[in-house]
Amino acid sequence: EPEVTQTPSHQVTQMGQEVILRCVPISNHLYFYWYRQILGQKVEFLVSFYNNEISEKSEIFDDQFSVERPDGSNFTLKIRSTKLEDSAMYFCASSPRTAYEQYFGPGTRLTVT
């Protein structure tokens, strides 16, 4: 069964460094998302992406964040200058048609020290 994959599974970085989190969505899906989950809290929406552009973003997704679909398979989340409070699990999700059926990847645990 096709699944969303994410790399790396765990990323440790120092405050102020740039990180790129990578995702490979399910191949025939058209809508892509990033969510984050701070330890023990609920999953929070960051950004949605469709037709090579951002379709919606939350207030969490400030100028330090960017997304890209550099080729036909990868979908990346970049954090330009990480802060301690960026430490969280970051989940990529993809959907074939609309927001309705979102399939989540296993997540990348980002630890900012």
Partner 1 sequence: GESVGLHLPTLSVQEGDNSIINCAYSNSASDYFIWYKQESGKGPQFIIDIRSNMDKRQGQRVTVLLNKTVKHLSLQIAATQPGDSAVYFCAETRSGNTPLVFGKGTRLSVIA
- Taking the C-alpha atoms of residue 73 and residue 15, their distance in angstroms, rounded to an integer, is 29
* DSSP class per residue in 23-88: EE--TT--EEEEEEE-TTS--EEEEEEETTEEEEE-TT--TTEEEE--SSS-EEEEESS--GGG-E
Backbone angles phi, psi at 84, to 5 degrees: -55, -40
- Does the footprint of partner 1 cover residue 103 (CB under 8 A)? yes
Sites for partner 1 among residues 7-66 (CB under 8 A): 31, 33, 35, 38-45, 48, 50, 55-56, 58
Size of the site for partner 1 (CB under 8 A): 29
- Shortest distance in whole angstroms from residue 105 CB to partner 1: 5
Of 10 and 80, the one with the shorter C-beta distance to partner 1 is: 10
Residue ranges binding partner 1 (CB under 8 A)? 4, 31, 33, 35, 38-45, 48, 50, 55-56, 58, 91, 93, 98-107
